[in-house]
Amino acid sequence: MKLVIGHLYPRLMNMYADRGNVICLEQRCRWRGIDVEVRSLSPGPLHNAAELDLLLVGGGQDREQLLASRDLVETKGPVLRDAMRDGLVALAVCGGYQLFGEYYRDHTGVELRGIEVLPAHTAHPGEGTQRCIGNIVTTWKGRKLVGFENHGGRTYLHDTAAALATVENGFGNNGEDRTEGAQWRNVYGTYLHGSLLPKNPAFADHLILQALQRRHGAALLPPLDDAVEASAHERALKIAGR
Ligand code: GLN
């Protein structure tokens, strides 16, 4: 079996080592004998979106987000939206997550358009306001997810049922409603950097399995020896005081 991973804006949206999510998925496939191709998707027209099985985008500063927003709205948005409507599995982190919603209004009040696949919008409360920074623990499908967050924008879901997880420790979407992230079909947005997937192997495998089921009708994913990942996960939980 083979999976094709699209890495969106690898040079633009690469804060806090979110590239580790791509490496994690690639490795967890290869360790199982699944062939993987990683395609870097830089600004410009996107061809063959239907060949993608997994799409990942990381976080970025406001300036890089502006460039990414322009490219999404002017070129890639419509084809990516169609692919995600067709079940493409996607993980968007922080600034990337914000651009998968309706818009991100930055600290100067400038509104960056998003591609509107996630039912949410984000607004930065303005220069000099507290940033949402620190270790974060959430609960997703009864499991703990651990990571690190650093964002000024506050994200508000248009339907709180679309939340990816519930905040146990940290800010999450906005520090008010205990929601973290958002999801729609196989599209997931989150504020958890870390990078997220190496410390949360169950979530990584959830994404891989969804992609395999969509492309190959696979039902099972053989387990891996996750002793190292589990100890990193436990250490992160302890650091976050959970
Ligand atoms: N610039 C956005 C914010 O501050 C996203 C930051 C990020 O991607 N870490 O909310």
pLDDT tens string, the chain, 242 residues long: the values are 999 999 999 999 988 899 999 999 999 999 999 999 999 999 999 999 999 999 999 999 889 999 999 999 999 999 999 999 999 999 999 999 999 999 999 999 999 999 999 999 999 999 999 999 999 999 999 999 999 999 999 999 999 889 999 999 999 999 999 999 999 999 999 999 989 999 999 999 999 999 999 999 987 899 999 999 999 999 999 999 87
* Cβ neighbour number for residue 225 with a 10 Å cutoff: 8
Report pLDDT for 16: 83
* Cβ neighbour number for residue 4 with a 10 Å cutoff: 17
Asked whether 174 lines ligand 1 (CB < 6 A), one says no
Nearest Cα to Cα of residue 181 among 238, 171, 50, 16: 171
Mutate to test the pocket of ligand 1, among 8, 69, 98 (most ligand atoms within 8 A of CB): 98
Verify whether residue 132 is a known catalytic residue.
Answer: no
Sign of the C-alpha dihedral computed for residues 139, 140, 146 and 151 taken in this order: negative
Asked whether 60 lines ligand 1 (CB < 6 A), one says yes
Q: Give this prediction's pTM.
A: 0.97
Domains in the chain, CATH or no CATH each: 2-239 (3.40.50.880)
Report pLDDT for 87: 97
Report pLDDT for 154: 98
Please, are residues 114 and 103 in contact by the beta-carbon 8 Å criterion?
yes
Report pLDDT for 160: 85
Asked whether 92 lines ligand 1 (CB < 6 A), one says no
Type of residue found at 197: L
The DSSP string of 99-168 is HTSSEEE-TTSPEEE----SSEEEE---TTSPPEEEEEEEEETTEEEEEEEEES-EEEESSGGG-SEEEE
Q: How far is the CA of 111 from the centre of ligand 1 (A)?
A: 14
Asked whether 194 lines ligand 1 (CB < 6 A), one says no
